[in-house]
Structures are given as C-alpha cells and as structure tokens.
Amino acid sequence: MGKVYVPKFYADWLKDRRDYSPAYLVYCLVTGREFLDEKIQNWLDNNLEIAIIAIINGYDIENPKKYYARMKYIQYYNSFLNYNPDNEVFTLNNTVEINAVQTKFDKDWLRDNFEPFETLLSNGLIELIEVNEDD
C-alpha cells in the first residue's frame, strides 16, 4: 500500500516528531495513546491502520470538507455566514465569494474562529450545507 490521506492535525503531529524513528512513533500510537492529544486519540479509534501506514509509507494531507453555514429562521438568501479576514468580521449574506469575503468553511475552522458555532449547531440554529466544488 502506498501513501494514505490523513487529516492536517495528524500530519502536524507527525511533522513535529520527524526526528523520531518510525518504530518509536508506531509504539507511541499503540501503547501510549493516553499521552496523545484527545483529537488524535479520537481519530485513532477508527484509523490506527491508516496512521501506521502514514508513518511507514508516507502521507498526503486530506482536504477537509467545506460547508456553507446557514443561519436558520432568517430569510434564506441572506442567511449564510460570511467572513471578511481583512476586518476579521462575520456577517450574514449570500454564498457568493467576492473580494476578500469567505463563505465556505471547514468545521474545524468554524470551531476555532467563530465562537458561537458549537452553541448554534447544538441548538439547531445553524445548518451546514456541504459545498460541491464541481458546481
């Protein structure tokens, strides 16, 4: 089996440990999981084989799924989360990305940068619509 795709957080973990031997890294994944970041532990629950193959054969970073974040109960057309990185401001508008305005987000980015994201999502006030990049 050749290279595998891994999430960026796991690729970063491997990069930070590039001076360690592959055998030691595999040993850490198999016997020392309690010392790993919780996000990596959770990912390893279903991806240990991929994690080991990445150490041995190499890896590429997978592109996370992108979503439009739509606020429910607001007029549909202007209910999508927009972000302007120049001003570091969130607004609601449509899904058209023009100039510096970003309308497509991955879940990790939203969790890290849009403070009310988890609360809105868990209370059903925001809906994530997967972006089809082919459209």
- Give the DSSP per-residue string, 88-112: TEEEEE-S---TT-B--B-HHHHHH
pTM of the model: 0.63
Per-residue pLDDT tens digits for 14-32: 999 999 999 999 999 999 8
CB 114 within 8 A of CB 89: no
Predicted confidence at residue 134, as pLDDT, reads 65
Which residues span the domain enclosing 53? 4-61
Residues 85 and 101 grouped into a single domain: yes
Q: How buried is residue 16: exposed, middle or buried, by Cβ count under 10 Å (0-12/13-18/19+)?
A: exposed
User: Is 22 a domain residue?
Assistant: yes
Per-residue pLDDT tens digits for 23-63: 999 999 999 877 888 999 999 999 999 999 999 999 999 88
User: Is 38 a domain residue?
Assistant: yes
Residues 56 and 101 grouped into a single domain: no
Q: What is the mean pLDDT of residues 85-101?
A: 91
Residues 87 and 52 grouped into a single domain: no
Q: What are phi and psi of 122, to 5 degrees?
A: -70, -20
CA pseudo-torsion sign 67, 68, 70, 76: negative
| E-only strand ranges, the chain | 4-6, 59-61, 67-71, 80-84, 89-93, 126-130
- Answer yes or no: is pLDDT of 1 > 80: no
Residues 73 and 119 grouped into a single domain: yes
Tokens 């209370």 label which residue?
A: 123
Amino acid sitting at position 76: Y
Predicted confidence at residue 130, as pLDDT, reads 94
Predicted confidence at residue 77, as pLDDT, reads 82
User: Is 135 a domain residue?
Assistant: no
Residue 51 neighbours by CB under 8 Å, 6+ apart? 6, 10, 29, 43, 44
Predicted confidence at residue 135, as pLDDT, reads 52
User: Is 93 a domain residue?
Assistant: yes
Question: How many domains is the chain partitioned into structurally?
Answer: 2
Residues 79 and 51 grouped into a single domain: no
Closest to 16 in 3D by CA, of 48, 40, 49, 34: 40
- Answer yes or no: is pLDDT of 90 > 60: yes
Q: What is the mean pLDDT of the chain?
A: 92
- Answer yes or no: is pLDDT of 11 > 70: yes
In the listed set 61, 89, 106, which residue is the last one of a domain according to the structure? 61
